[in-house]
Chains A and B, each alone.
Chain A
Amino acid sequence: MSAPLLELDGLTVALGTGGVELLSGLSLVLERGERLGLVGESGSGKSLTALAIMGLLPEQMRVSGGLRFKGDDLPALPEERMRRLRGRRIAMIFQEPMTALNPVMSIGAQIAEGRRLHLGEGRAEAEAVARRLLDRVGLPGPRFDPGLYPHQLSGGQRQRVMIAMAVACGPDLLIADEPTTALDVTVQAQILDLLDEIVEETGAALLLITHDLGVVSETADRIAVMYAGRILETGPTEKVFARMAHPYAHGLFAASPYGLDLRRAPGEPRPRLKAIPGMVPDPARRPAHCVFAERCASVQADCLRISPPLKPLEAEGGRWPHLVACLHPRAGGAAP
């Protein structure tokens, strides 16, 4: 059996040597053609995970544990080899298409840049490909000339350009960090569809980072729920949504307006959202026991003693088992 495309095996990222852990022991495997959604709130470490994979962590952060791409240990790769992977094998789509695009370079040149650098194509050749990619992402000529600049495009159109740039060299892994968060819902729907089609056509793996449960539910085959630098629950999307075994996974859903049952008798007060009390713990003050214990409604004495590892919920998990890091997983049901 060949090495998996992307393998995180106890990936830990700390600030300074022996310092504060920002990511603690993440493990996951991603193969070509798969769509994995990483969900969590701000500070959960989901974007940091993406940066670690891209080798773009700030200097003072230390990586330990396994982080392998096609069997290569990424943190050990010299920058020169990492640079050949970035944009070629691993590509990233960022949230802010305005800041991620170069404002003084035409969109055609930006899309072609990767092919010229990585594949050694000439200008004419690369720009012909850029034209085809623009057509593919829904920006047809002559209206959308490769000579246009980012400021001449709307937010959704810029995000289409970002997608064209990301897939220009046919990467094996596409990381999309909140790709639609800055967009309106109708545009978001179009962009998510486009991403979906591109992944289907190219067979690349998709790592989708989002805070939106609706977006992962509709886009990812598997999800991993992150909180305070850890994965608390992971598995096939339908299984995770059907059970929400971790109180945090369930709490996240119950707190969202999706979780709200609006039925009420006339004169009755408006139903409240099920807010999770408290705040995400500061990375420097994360407890040694379960990181969610302080905010958990069903906390028990043993939760304050140990930090539960991810464990399968069923004996026979199949290829993608449903795992949860909780001593007292919920029996099931999204209903509160």
Chain B
Amino acid sequence: MRTAAPLLEVRDLVREYPLPRPSLFAPRPVLRAVRGVSLTLAAGSSLGIVGESGCGKSTLARCVMGLERPQGGQVLIDGEDIYALSRAGLRRARVKFQAVFQDPYGSLDPRHDVRRILLEPLASLQPETGRAEHASRIAEALEAVGLPAEAAGRYPHEFSGGQRQRIAMARALITRPALIVADEPVSALDVSIQAQVLNLMMDLQERLGLSYLFISHDLGVVRAITDRVAVMQAGKIVEEGPTGEVFAHPRHAYTRRLIESAPKPFSGRRRRARAAQEAPA
């Protein structure tokens, strides 16, 4: 059954960056990072955005998180246009959507212990929560991501990459959001650790009814964790559909090229791309 309003709706999103003038009186060239992207994400489901570097997927994620004001289009979360909200309104709405980033080393402040890292979203977004509530929320978040309660008193450098991504996940969960925007959350991790974190994300989704907007360049990872997938190229979505369907029967030539280029075990030695067919990149 479909609910009336999707949890996240992006309509005709445009985000451009002016570039430096090539000469004094020349017009400023514009980098069109996101060129009219529309997508919807139903509550409790996950949508993957795949594409190569420079396709605009991270810019799209930043726009959805309210970090980059787009030049055109809308981002609606629970039917509310986040860029039409006042600062205070956006702050209230932010409780509903949180982010997890790629770099488990850069995204946690090394001078703060885990307790303080986890408290930050609560303190700034839900200041009405009291001390007792803080303690219980921290315990709840750490438990959810499979870290011991003592972890609260430790510092990021005491944790491995996989554990740090768990801390980042706990920080995202602490406001009890409905949507998590994850930008390459497992790209920096080794395969065996990556599997642990992906499984955790699937468990949490089922238990808490979370939705994920999952940005990744890794087709295998996206295939494992998403219900639907959108393929981005040069700022546009060239193909979108149920994940299994898109991977089994890619319609767009670019999607096909992505899938064919990705190396696979068991394929034996082979030549992948014929240099003759493509310009050197």
CB of B56 to closest CB in A, whole Å? 14
| Residue pair B280, A251 in contact (C-beta under 8 Å) | no
Asked, given contacts A211-B191, A270-B202, whether A190 binds B217 with beta carbons under 8 Å apart, the answer is: no
Contact digits for A177-217, partner B, Cβ 8 Å, 1 yes 0 no: 00000001111111011101000000000000001111101
Chain B: CB-nearest residue to A144:
B280
Selected contact of B264 from candidates A156, A214, A277, CB within 8 Å: A214
Q: Which residues of B contact A154 (CB under 8 A)?
A: 281
In the complex, A258→B258 CA distance in Å? 15
| Residue pair B263, A273 in contact (C-beta under 8 Å) | no
CB of A235 to closest CB in B, whole Å? 15
Selected contact of B261 from candidates A160, A186, A258, CB within 8 Å: A186
The count of chain B contact residues (Cβ–Cβ below 8 Å) is 45
Selected contact of B195 from candidates A157, A194, A273, CB within 8 Å: A273
Asked, given contacts A138-B280, A212-B263, whether A196 binds B271 with beta carbons under 8 Å apart, the answer is: yes
Asked, given contacts A41-B191, A252-B192, whether A193 binds B265 with beta carbons under 8 Å apart, the answer is: no
| Residue pair B268, A218 in contact (C-beta under 8 Å) | yes
| Residue pair B280, A189 in contact (C-beta under 8 Å) | no
| Residue pair A257, B223 in contact (C-beta under 8 Å) | yes
| Residue pair B265, A241 in contact (C-beta under 8 Å) | yes
| Residue pair B269, A218 in contact (C-beta under 8 Å) | yes
Q: Which residues of A contact B160 (CB under 8 A)?
A: 279
In the complex, A276→B262 CA distance in Å? 24
CB of A211 to closest CB in B, whole Å? 7
Selected contact of B224 from candidates A193, A273, A334, CB within 8 Å: A273
In the complex, A185→B260 CA distance in Å? 9
Question: Is B273 an interface residue when CB atoms closer than 8 A count as contact?
Answer: yes
The count of chain A contact residues (Cβ–Cβ below 8 Å) is 53
Question: Is A132 an interface residue when CB atoms closer than 8 A count as contact?
Answer: no
Selected contact of B271 from candidates A156, A193, A256, CB within 8 Å: A193
In the complex, A29→B160 CA distance in Å? 34
Question: Is B221 an interface residue when CB atoms closer than 8 A count as contact?
Answer: yes
**Residues of A257-293 whose CB lies within 8 A of B:** 257-258, 260, 262, 269-270, 272-277, 279-280
Chain B: CB-nearest residue to A244:
B265
In the complex, A272→B224 CA distance in Å? 8
Q: Which residues of B contact A275 (CB under 8 A)?
A: 192-193, 195-196, 199
CB of A152 to closest CB in B, whole Å? 14
Question: Is A226 an interface residue when CB atoms closer than 8 A count as contact?
Answer: no
Q: 24 A–B contact pairs at CB < 8 A?
A: A41-B191, A154-B281, A156-B280, A156-B281, A157-B280, A184-B217, A185-B258, A187-B281, A189-B261, A189-B263, A211-B191, A212-B263, A213-B191, A213-B265, A214-B263, A217-B264, A218-B267, A218-B270, A256-B195, A257-B220, A260-B223, A262-B223, A269-B206, A277-B196
B residues contacting A by CB (< 8 A) are 52-53, 160, 162, 190-196, 198-199, 202, 206, 217-221, 223-225, 244, 257-258, 260-275, 278, 280-281
A residues contacting B by CB (< 8 A) are 41-42, 138-139, 154-157, 160, 184-190, 192-194, 196, 211-215, 217-221, 237-238, 241, 251-253, 255-258, 260, 262, 269-270, 272-277, 279-280, 334
